[in-house]
Structure 1
């Protein structure tokens, strides 16, 4: 259950937010199956399949899980159906099919094919930390994140959330770290970095299996390029790739934390999840205290 991505959003009005209200309302807005003509549905899911456990609370943190069910119509199938129909019309009626008519044909065919399409489910995990005033999401998929926000608002009527208010440019900060070899004391560089030109071309160079502090990297930065992604390790607890939008990918918690959670667990699915969540949320909260100082993130 350990998150593989960390995307932070700030809770702007925790005094008006009632976690008990959210806990009680979540079961009333579950994920349901797509109707025959629905493109997708979105809703809450139990933390464990076929259970009635919708949330998990620990030290002012609340874990939840949502999901999206969508009808999958492969573009190749739609394209083949449209081309077949266009060829039939042109042969039978002896005329060319125009762009607008093709678009209309595509809409009609999608409408007729959708009820036969397979349904695919994707889930998204998140938790609210009232002490740190954060919403933490285990996804970098913007579409899924937007659906999660909308569903939180739909469930509660409103949800007091905003992007992190960083006072400095993350790309500039990371670039300065590498040029001057002045990372914060709790950080070490990993072996992955992506840099980007500041010109209109936005040319990118990605280095892998290479020390970001090497001359191959820093010479490009000294010529004006900026760090877009940087692999880092925080203390002995967490490694990740930090993006210039302050999202974290490829998050890996140290095995010692997972072993400690295993030892704390009483055994069983929910007990294991509870132990994992307790240690994960505690360490993420501690990490964010450092993170917020690096990028001058102020409370709103």
Structure 2
């Protein structure tokens, strides 16, 4: 298994919390299906479907936050409420007022909720207690923040912090492009976004397009800065670095897939993939932090 998007946080390295202690803490918020009158239910579930909330491979841990959300579109509520309002108007001789209409919509929502469809989603989190990484596989910071909120609520006094670096990713990525020079161990790929900082918010985006140095420098000279940059680490992993220090569109390249060992069954293959992923990503993240000037300490 490979994470597609990395929202990165920091733990002390090494972190001495054991998988058993984390399992016990997460069990207080174990996932249970939403009842008929609940719109949303969240909780920790087994990442491997075996009742264990913490999956461990060579000290690396995998946990999963499960979410069940009912689909009840506002348009449906409004449609049913409108029909009921019309019946009510015929009965009482005048249309319901603003307050009465609000209460009617609330009653309609309560009536429709037990029949609403449920959507289940899962967000995986990798905990590396050896090197001090905590990584949420989420495309948006909001979704990662939701996971972190539940984690901090479950695990008492968890010393978790956002990853901070010495130099702004925007400044560093812009300098790499301006000087047509990538940091040691990395290459710059053919996708980037340059955005103006002024009121115009003008932007130019390259997708699978050669980044001609002169064209890039012209955009930078006009006031644009790099907010997204596609890169490859050691010919092994490609990704997109964002201005918010998120790592997106992570892909293991063929050179890594060739090194994958043959597994006897699905469980063994999963563990092999997870071990390979965590080993490579921990090194890549360390090199990326170094390329951004190292970690910023408070």
Common fold: TM-score over 0.5: yes
Match of 2:136 in 1: 137
* Deviation of the 1:97 alpha carbon: 5.6
* Counterpart contact for 1:68–1:121, Cα < 8 Å: yes
1:161-217 Cα shifts (integer Å, max 9, x gaps): 111122221111111111111211322222221221101342333221212345443
Q: Which whole-Å CA distance do the structure 2 matches of 1:61 and 1:156 have between them?
A: 17
* Counterpart contact for 1:212–1:218, Cα < 8 Å: no
Q: Which whole-Å CA distance do the structure 2 matches of 1:179 and 1:129 have between them?
A: 35
The total of aligned residue pairs comes to: 297
SS at match of 2:259: helix
Q: Which whole-Å CA distance do the structure 1 matches of 2:78 and 2:184 have between them?
A: 55
Q: Which whole-Å CA distance do the structure 1 matches of 2:18 and 2:142 have between them?
A: 26
Match of 1:242 in 2: 241
1:75-102 Cα shifts (integer Å, max 9, x gaps): 3323323443455555665656665554
SS at match of 1:124: strand
1:138-181 Cα shifts (integer Å, max 9, x gaps): 11233432332222223223322111122221111111111111
Match of 1:45 in 2: 45
- List alignment gaps of at least 5 residues for structure 1: none
* Counterpart contact for 2:231–2:238, Cα < 8 Å: yes
Q: Which whole-Å CA distance do the structure 1 matches of 2:56 and 2:98 have between them?
A: 55
Give yes or no for the alignment of 1:273 onto 2:270.
yes
Give yes or no for the alignment of 1:292 onto 2:284.
no
Please tell me the root mean square deviation across aligned C-alpha atoms, in Å.
2.5
* Counterpart contact for 2:31–2:45, Cα < 8 Å: yes
1:27-84 Cα shifts (integer Å, max 9, x gaps): 45321111222221111222223x2343332343211222111111123323323443
* Counterpart contact for 1:127–1:136, Cα < 8 Å: yes
Give yes or no for the alignment of 1:81 onto 2:84.
no
TM-score (norm 2): 0.88
1:244-299 Cα shifts (integer Å, max 9, x gaps): 10111111012332343343x3x222211110111111111110111111223235
* Deviation of the 1:16 alpha carbon: 6.2
Q: 1:26 to 1:91 in 2, by over 3 A?
A: same
Q: 1:32 to 1:179 in 2, by over 3 A?
A: same
Matches within 5 A, 1:91-110: 101-110=100-109
Match of 1:7 in 2: 7
Q: Which whole-Å CA distance do the structure 1 matches of 2:75 and 2:135 have between them?
A: 36
Q: Which whole-Å CA distance do the structure 2 matches of 1:226 and 1:98 have between them?
A: 52
Q: 1:289 to 1:98 in 2, by over 3 A?
A: same
Deviates more, 1:107-116 or 1:170-179: 107-116
Q: Which whole-Å CA distance do the structure 2 matches of 1:157 and 1:103 have between them?
A: 41
- List alignment gaps of at least 5 residues for structure 2: none
Q: Which whole-Å CA distance do the structure 1 matches of 2:91 and 2:191 have between them?
A: 58
Q: Which whole-Å CA distance do the structure 2 matches of 1:200 and 1:101 have between them?
A: 44
* Counterpart contact for 1:192–1:208, Cα < 8 Å: yes
Deviates more, 1:59-68 or 1:238-247: 59-68
* Counterpart contact for 1:189–1:212, Cα < 8 Å: no
TM-score (norm 1): 0.88
